[in-house]
Amino acid sequence: MRGCLSAASNPPGIRTSEHLFRGAYMYRGYFENFLQKEDKKIAKLVNEEFKRQDTKLQMIASENYTSKAVMALQGSVLTNKYAEGYPEKRFYQGCEYLDKVEAEAISRLKKMFGAEHANVQPHAGSQANMAIYLSCLNPGDTIMGMDLASGGHLTHGASVSFSGKFFKAVSYGVSEYTNLLDYEAIRNLAKKHKPKLLIAGASAYPRQIDFKKFHDIAKEVGALFMADIAHIAGLIVGKVHPDPVPYCDFIGGTTHKTLRGPRGGFILCKSEWMKKVDSAVFPGIQGGPLMHVVAAKAVAFKEALQPEFREYQKQIVKNAKVIADYLSKNGFNLVTGGTDNHLMLVDLRNKQLTGREAALAMDKAGITANKNRIPFDPLKAFETSGVRLGTPALTTRGMKEDQCLAIAEMIADILNHPTSAKVAAGVRKKVKVLCNKFPVEI
Ligand SMILES: *Cc1c(COP(=O)(O)O)cnc(C)c1O
């Protein structure tokens, strides 16, 4: 069981002094007892959403289930407070308790990664990246990151993102033959364009990233180096992915993916960048921090510091390997041939199926994933030739290799018969049984 600080035996939704979290509604009780009366329409939709999360297999690689404590804090009185500034340096009175909350979150995050400095205020991963850029770049400077089409993120220089509009963005991709990062090609591109900031990190790359190689390239061309660990932060804390901290000037990340905390972002940096990073977050790009989320981050960090968290991360990777092995032995092509991390990309071109069709068919049968472009995809982002599968959420429910093998069989069945109502109904039934055995904790 996960670290749960809430008193489950309390009557749900009743705010009493007996509550361990005084001032925080128990999540479930909040909509069952109170929100029902306040706003039936929204209460009903939240309940439907909970049922969706509970009765289907969530395989979107960037999603997870947080603990009850994390959810309770996001519904707490901390949302009522403005705390512009940083601990002991606020612009409003009344921050004496929240100062301690934020200081604790910072100290836990530094401990988790062995980092010199941490900022826990970015509202999300995109804001973490934006603040890093603001701390070390001027508009028009050159940044170099992985292109979206190869598995990078919008904020790494895509033309539709601020990162592509305010900076001169140069993109590297993956090798056409192996679909792996080609460090020699990245090095040559960096030598040619001399970026001020080199960015490593991805949203849909199924293999480990060699941060030392990136670091060496950055040093060779005189660039600063940042890693965006939004997806793999939990894997790094769990020591199932190589550690970027010794090699990076900056690290941007999210707390809600493999890290299993509230939706939010964070920044780590070397102490020489501390002041610039902090003032880039506030007042650079944000106003008041979401202190209810900062408190939830602190609890998630506490959970991540427990030995069980490492076991959880190991299991995520084991589960992904089981699914990848089964699919590749049964006629499916996986981008790069498999996975080293929490996700895989299925190339559907040999199945005469698009990513959009595959994701729709899977969702109908109770398995929720997303269509995703594969490297050098002939199809556009709305259609795509691939589907991305991730194991963090399944693993949080307690599912292990046996269940993942069964899930892989179900996925193969659907993708081999995407239009069969009979196959969809059969899988839906199996999914329900599996979900019943591994209920979502709320
Ligand atoms: C998810 C992600 C982000 C940030 O996403 P938000 O939705 O803004 O929290 C940034 N970089 C990468 C590589 C990501 O996968």
Domain membership flag for residue 313:
yes
The CATH code of the domain that includes 365 is: 3.90.1150.10
Domain membership flag for residue 172:
yes
pLDDT (tens digit, 9 = 90+) per residue, 50-73?
899 999 999 999 999 999 899 989
pLDDT at 286: 98
Residue that the structure tokens 């069981």 belong to: 1
Count of structural domains, the chain:
2
Domain membership flag for residue 5:
no
pLDDT (tens digit, 9 = 90+) per residue, 247-288?
999 999 999 999 999 999 999 999 999 999 999 999 999 999
The Cα 210–Cα 38 span in angstroms is 51
Q: Is the Cβ–Cβ distance between 259 and 233 less than 8 Å? A: yes
pLDDT at 3: 39
Q: Is the same domain home to 407 and 321?
A: yes
Q: Is the same domain home to 207 and 124?
A: yes
pLDDT at 30: 60
Q: How confident is the model at residue 4 (pLDDT cuts 50, 70, 90)?
A: very low
pLDDT at 15: 40
Q: Is the same domain home to 296 and 312?
A: no
pLDDT exceeds cutoff 60 at 1: no
In the chain, the largest separation of any two C-alpha atoms, in whole Å, equals: 64
Q: Which atom of ligand 1 approaches the CA of 156 most closely?
A: 11
pLDDT exceeds cutoff 50 at 319: yes
C-alpha 174 to ligand 1 mean position (Å)? 19
Q: With the C-alpha atoms ordered 290, 291, 292, 296, is the resulting torsion angle positive or negative?
A: positive
Domain membership flag for residue 276:
yes
Structure token digits, residue 25? 């509604």
pLDDT (tens digit, 9 = 90+) per residue, 210-220?
999 999 999 99
Q: How confident is the model at residue 442 (pLDDT cuts 50, 70, 90)?
A: confident
pLDDT at 35: 78
The Cα 269–Cα 113 span in angstroms is 11
Residue range(s) defining the domain that contains residue 263: 77-304
Q: Is the same domain home to 126 and 221?
A: yes
Last residue of a domain, one of 304, 339, 355: 304
C-alpha 283 to ligand 1 mean position (Å)? 22
Q: Is the same domain home to 217 and 204?
A: yes
Q: Which atom of ligand 1 approaches the CA of 256 most closely?
A: 9
Torsion of CA 19, 21, 22, 27, to 10 degrees: -80
Domain membership flag for residue 329:
yes
Last residue of a domain, one of 304, 320, 344: 304
Q: Of 13-17, 145-149, 399-403, where does mean pLDDT reach its minimum?
A: 13-17
Mean pLDDT of 317-322: 98
pLDDT (tens digit, 9 = 90+) per residue, 95-104?
999 999 999 9
Mean pLDDT of 319-348: 98
Mutation probe of ligand 1 site: the residue of 155, 256, 266 with most atoms within 8 A of C-beta: 155
Q: How confident is the model at residue 38 (pLDDT cuts 50, 70, 90)?
A: confident
pLDDT at 13: 44
The Cα 183–Cα 128 span in angstroms is 25
Mean pLDDT of 67-95: 94
Q: How confident is the model at residue 145 (pLDDT cuts 50, 70, 90)?
A: very high
Range 178-182 contact pairs with CB under 8 angstroms and sequence separation of 24 or more: 178/336, 179/335, 179/336, 179/374, 179/375, 180/207, 180/336, 181/146, 181/205, 181/207, 181/209, 181/210
Identify the CA nearest to 179 among candidates 201, 213, 204: 204
Domain membership flag for residue 54:
no
Last residue of a domain, one of 304, 329, 358: 304
Q: How confident is the model at residue 2 (pLDDT cuts 50, 70, 90)?
A: very low
pLDDT exceeds cutoff 80 at 92: yes
Q: Which atom of ligand 1 approaches the CA of 203 most closely?
A: 15
Q: Of 11-25, 210-224, 308-322, 401-415, where does mean pLDDT reach its minimum?
A: 11-25
Q: Is the pTM of this model over 0.85?
A: yes
Domain membership flag for residue 39:
no
Q: Is the same domain home to 223 and 327?
A: no
pLDDT at 90: 97
pLDDT exceeds cutoff 90 at 293: yes
Q: Is the Cβ–Cβ distance between 60 and 370 less than 8 Å? A: yes
Q: Is the same domain home to 180 and 250?
A: yes
The helix (H) or strand (E) run that includes residue 144 is strand 142-146
Q: Is the same domain home to 217 and 140?
A: yes
Q: How confident is the model at residue 22 (pLDDT cuts 50, 70, 90)?
A: low
pLDDT at 32: 67
pLDDT exceeds cutoff 60 at 14: no
The CATH code of the domain that includes 164 is: 3.40.640.10
Domain membership flag for residue 110:
yes
Q: Is the same domain home to 102 and 116?
A: yes
pLDDT (tens digit, 9 = 90+) per residue, 104-120?
999 999 999 999 999 99
Mean pLDDT of 332-357: 98
Q: Is the same domain home to 132 and 223?
A: yes
Tell me the angle at which helices 40-55 and 421-437 cross, rounded to the nearest 10 degrees: 100
Mutation probe of ligand 1 site: the residue of 126, 133, 286, 297 with most atoms within 8 A of C-beta: 126
Q: Is the same domain home to 282 and 329?
A: no
pLDDT at 24: 58
Residues with CB under 6 A from ligand 1: 62, 124-126, 153, 155, 201-203, 228, 230-231, 254, 265
pLDDT exceeds cutoff 90 at 197: yes
pLDDT at 27: 56
Mean pLDDT of the chain: 93
Residue numbers annotated as active site: 82, 84, 228, 254, 257, 263
Q: Is the same domain home to 296 and 404?
A: no
Mean pLDDT of 141-164: 96
